[in-house]
Chains A and B, each alone.
Chain A
Amino acid sequence: MPSHSDADTTASPLESVKHLLRQAWRDLLSVYYANTPIWRLFKSAGLLFFGFFCWSASSLVLSYGIDWTILEYTRAYGFVLILWGPLTHAVIVPLVIRLRRTAEHPVVRAIARNGSKINLSVFLAIVLILGTAPISPMLLDFQSTLENDSGSDVNPDLSCTRSDGVVSCELSESEGVDSVVVISGNNQVTRVEEPPFEFTFREDELEEVVGQKEFVVELRDEDDDTLRRYRRSVASVPEA
């Protein structure tokens, strides 16, 4: 037979709200104590994902310079939940349920009776402590490191002109560049080792791709690793 809600349809609105809240609390408790393998998995995985979300979202908002204290606590809550959620529902709740049935020692029985409260209290205490005094693993670093010892940014402008079938190029600056290589297709067209890295090559040395002659200029460091690549088609190079 179809099941129907047991709420009395003639009850007052206040009674209905009370009933709804009571039912919601009972549902919440039944979900908290649900102890089949699939429920344990659901709750553990759900809280792990929720913890990740709270932690990263709070960290993200904080990284934008929004200095709300509550975010420090939601960040701590999320961070602790990543571990504590699965711990609670995969270990502690099943243990509490088992101890309530089997424990005989009065101390163990007392712990079993209040196990969930103890667990939640410890969890909240850790959240409060970490919210107030965060430890480094929970702090995502959002500052992009400026590696001063690696030298300055290498990003010169490459300007090229062409005249009578010859392409001439130069770099706006040469700092940090050890060599410049011009490539077309699989072939190295020219290589320049000395600053100021002005170089020329003939258009007919270039390979043609889909009707256009194209070349790549690579700036290399002292280990011959590529720092920057510029791709140009001859058609786009202005006449001198």
Chain B
Amino acid sequence: MAHTLDVLGLFDNEYRDDGFRTCSVTGLEVHRSVDNYVKLFGLTAVVALLFGGIFAFTVAMTRWEVIGLLEPADFYTHLSMHAWNLLIFWMVFMEIAILYVGGPMVLGRRLPITTVAKAGWAVMVGGAVLVNYAIWTTEPPNEAPLLTAYVPMPVSPLFYAGAIVFILGTVVAALPFFVTMWYEKRENPGKTLPLVSFAAFVTSIIAVEALVGGLFAFVPTLFWRLELIEWWDAAWYRQMYWIIGHGTQQINLVAMIAVWYFLTHVVAGAEVVSEKVSRTAFILYLFFINLGAAHHLLSDPAVSTGWRLWNTSYAFYGATFASLIHAFAIPAGIEAGRRKRGKGGGLFGWLTSAPWSNPVFSSTIFSIILFGFLGGITGVMMGQLQLNMTWHNTFATVGHFHATVVLGTTVAFMGLAFFVIRTMFMRQYISERLASIQPFFYSAAMGVAVLMMMYVGILYGVPRRTAEVVENIPGTEFSLSAAAPLFAIFGIFALLAIAGGVLFVVVAVGSLVFGDRVENGDDNADLVADGGLAMAQDPDDPVHAYEMRGTFVLCLVFLAAFAITYLLNWYLLTQLWSIGA
């Protein structure tokens, strides 16, 4: 039966009389309400991705000064549009969809209080439009805020209002998830949540913490900007702002890992090697991940050295430890699960025999690899008091968060979008080949672009947020023109990465509009792991009986890369300070 607001048949699935259907891929009981709202939030996220992606082009072509597309004044406005639409709106709309997948869908429940979900979506969209409008119409004396509308910098009051509305909308949209959890625990008080639901729940707690921090930052600042209060404390603002400023990125991280567990299980036959260990890692995130925000304040005068040391050299490692657990647990789960299915010849046969032509699988694996090697290692280094000084506010920082948020989260979310197209929108890809190529093309191009960002930042100290540095720093003898060759590589690969992003939108939207309809379970048979998911629940064949030496070798490679990069950065720091000279 078609949904009352059906558009292009996108909300038209076959449900039983009770409103549920059985997913032919996951075997989950999916209610119409879950389908519809996951689609609604997912589609909105893709619109934000498209919009922010347009500004990726103008921003990258300005920083590649051979092109030098925009004037400095326009550059910051475009950069702000790029950042808000991709770092916030694309991510957060997807994350609400993930909460609905991890909650009611995995638990086989309907989505409660759908009116609230609808209201939350409407308020979020309103907030997003308002923020975009405020940034785009910025005029002096106001400044485009990027993500750091630090007091006392004057920013349009509409921007703060839009941000507050968006935050409130997100909280409202998350309420049905919390109600689902409440119902689930009330009806099954002694039963543990499935791992993916547990991960989604941890995500939601971190999200609420971040969002409340956002309200603490933006509400008084709006009052100050409207001149209802005369003065606001800049140090307080920065401290509160970074709870949401970095916290939203931690939501991305935890949501991404939930997606990793979910998709590797569904499309690659991964099993959870140890539920307890994986759950413990999520709990470590709950307590420690937000301390990562501290790295933004390490060069601030307002916080004490003790505060910096605690946040960056002791407690922060709780989150690092959690990430290292996941870095082992997920590939180990894939290896053991695939060996169990007879797909694990040799050291890496389990990996090379995997369904690489399936974009859901390849997106997920590229997300894991590139996040770990490029985003994770640099994140730990930047999160450390001493090494932060060599990275802070250079273009390398931009490289770091593109490695985490783009190569990690965005690539994983693209994989999830590919999955949703087949299993919830019930559409075949318009082109299997293009869909297969997209994760390879996008990840490779973005990977090189990200490396170049890190290199020009670390090798040359090229600053972030400026329109031009290589060709011309007005009025100064100082020049960074030596960085031009690496900037050329950056520019070319940024263009290729943008083409990869366009390819994703073309395949995703094209499939929704023009893709053949998935009529029965056989049409999606290629998404199911070898041997079927039922094998995972065989109590007589425990997963830990299978060897995981391939994963062990991969972890050793990762450890070596970590150690070399870490030592190199420390060594350079000692040289900078001439310690022992």
Contact = CB atoms under 8 A, between A and B. Distances in A.
B229 to A, nearest CB: 9
A221 B459 CA distance: 31
A144 B459 contact: no
Given A5-B547, A210-B224, A60 B458 contact: yes
A56 B486 CA distance: 10
B477 A150 contact: yes
B547 A57 contact: no
B451 A52 contact: yes
Contacts of B447: 49
Nearest to B221: A210
A155 B473 CA distance: 12
A4 B346 CA distance: 12
Nearest to B550: A27
Contact of A144 (B139, B344, B480, B553): B480
B572 interface: yes
B392 to A, nearest CB: 17
Interface string A159-194: 000000000000000001000000111100000000
Contact of B352 (A34, A145, A146, A184): A34
Contacts of B307: none
B482 A184 contact: no
B460 A142 contact: yes
Interface residues of A, number: 57
Given A2-B546, A142-B482, A145-B481, A27 B346 contact: yes
Given A140-B459, A144-B478, A184 B141 contact: yes
Given A31-B347, A210-B227, A221 B458 contact: no
Interface string A58-91: 0111011110000000000000000000000000
Contact of A146 (B373, B475, B477, B547): B477
Nearest to B576: A64
A10 interface: no
Contact of A153 (B152, B475, B481, B541): B475
A155 B476 contact: yes
A39 B353 CA distance: 10
Contacts of A65: 575
Contacts of B313: none
A38 B475 contact: no
B39 interface: no
B339 interface: yes
B477 A143 contact: no
A27 B477 contact: no
A20 to B, nearest CB: 11
B47 interface: no
A147 B476 CA distance: 9
B141 A207 contact: yes
B571 interface: yes
Contacts of B139: 186
Contacts of A37: 356
B140 interface: yes
A161 B130 CA distance: 40
Given A3-B344, A221-B474, 12 more contacts: A3-B339, A38-B354, A45-B444, A49-B373, A57-B568, A60-B572, A65-B575, A142-B460, A155-B476, A209-B141, A211-B227, A211-B230
Interface of B: 139-142, 152, 154, 224-225, 227, 230-231, 339, 344, 346-348, 352, 354, 356, 373, 440, 444, 447-448, 451, 455, 458-460, 474-482, 485-486, 541, 545-547, 553, 564, 568, 571-572, 575-576
Interface of A: 2-5, 27, 30-31, 34, 36-39, 41-42, 45, 49, 52, 56-57, 59-61, 63-66, 140-148, 150, 152-155, 176, 183-186, 207, 209-212, 214, 219, 221, 225-228
7 contacts: A4-B547, A52-B455, A144-B480, A145-B479, A145-B482, A185-B140, A211-B230
